[in-house]
Amino acid sequence: MASDAQNNPFIRNLASSDKKIRDQALDSLRTYLGAQSNISELDLLKLWKGLFYCLWMQDKPALQQRLSRDLASLVPTLRTTVVLPFIRAFWLTIAREWGHIEALRLDKYLYLIRQYVNASFTFLSRNKWKKSLLEEWNSIVGEVPLECQDMKIPNGLRYHVMDIWADELEKVDGEEWEKEEKKEIMEMLVQPIEKLAKEGKLKSLRTAAKECLADARLRAWRGQEDEVMDEPEEEDEEAEWGGIVD
């Protein structure tokens, strides 16, 4: 399972216990990625499989978190044309490998996901929340971590992304979200969650999306001061099973 990482000394060096070796490997990866204006989806997926198992093999919580932050620090070094394809490959990899993550390893991947949600929002913010980039980001999020109907997408991934959504938005632009000129951007940002709240295949997913949208910070940023009214739910036609289908 981890053969790609084990057979690639460059990727393996990112998980080294030797800080010097680890930093050199990260610098080499930054240099390589930063020079690319276009990387194929296949190459990005191969890279992310290696990076996924690089974190898999990393022991000690402090080093795991350091590696996750290092991996997220790659995003601002990428050319704009590569950033969102790189992030999409990240989500596709996480969704594909989720079912293999044992409980003892889960925390480090949850932390990595948080870092990548933050890095994504930071990228969008630095690009002035450009509409075309935001639309592409929404498309990626709607395809993988917040997809509404496909039960091959792990529900645990969906729940975690919604749990951290408002936290990471607050870290990126903080009080700026209270400004009137940010309202249109905010409404675009919540579109994938709004869609999941209405079209999620399972009642539990729809409920989680509504709870995310009911976050006091999101409501304040959107200018929603009224009380949240629960809408009646229809019974699910299918059993609420959140397992993974290979």
Cβ atoms of 28 and 10 closer than 8 Å: yes
What per-residue string of b and e applies to 36-67 under the rule 16 or more CB within 10 Å gives b?
eeebeeeebbebbbbbbbbbbebeeeebbbeb
Q: Per-residue pLDDT for 229 more than 80?
A: no
Q: Which candidate, 165, 227, 237, 232, places its Cα nearest to that of 201?
A: 237
167 within some domain: yes
Take residue 236 and report the two structure tokens written for it: 């699910």
Q: pLDDT grade, residue 245 (50/70/90)?
A: very low
Q: pLDDT grade, residue 7 (50/70/90)?
A: low
DSSP H or E run through 33: helix 19-34
* Residue numbers of the domain that contains 9: 3-221
240 within some domain: no
227 within some domain: no
Q: What CA dihedral angle connects 114, 120, 122 and 124, to 10 degrees?
A: -150
Residue pointed to by tokens 């002035």:
128
189 within some domain: yes
127 within some domain: yes
Residues 6+ apart with CB under 8 A from 184: none
Q: Per-residue pLDDT for 225 more than 90?
A: no
pLDDT mean across residues, the chain: 89
Cβ atoms of 179 and 130 closer than 8 Å: no
pTM: 0.88
| 97-155 per-position pLDDT tens digit | 999 999 999 999 999 999 999 999 999 999 999 999 999 999 999 999 999 999 999 99
Look at the chain and report how many structural domains it folds into. 1
140 within some domain: yes
Spatial distance between the Cα atoms of 158 and 3, rounded to a whole number of angstroms? 28
68 within some domain: yes
Spatial distance between the Cα atoms of 185 and 130, rounded to a whole number of angstroms? 9
8 within some domain: yes
Kindly list the distances between the CA atom of residue 162 and the CA atoms of 121, 158, 228, 240, 242, in Å, as whole numbers in the listed order: 14, 6, 18, 18, 16
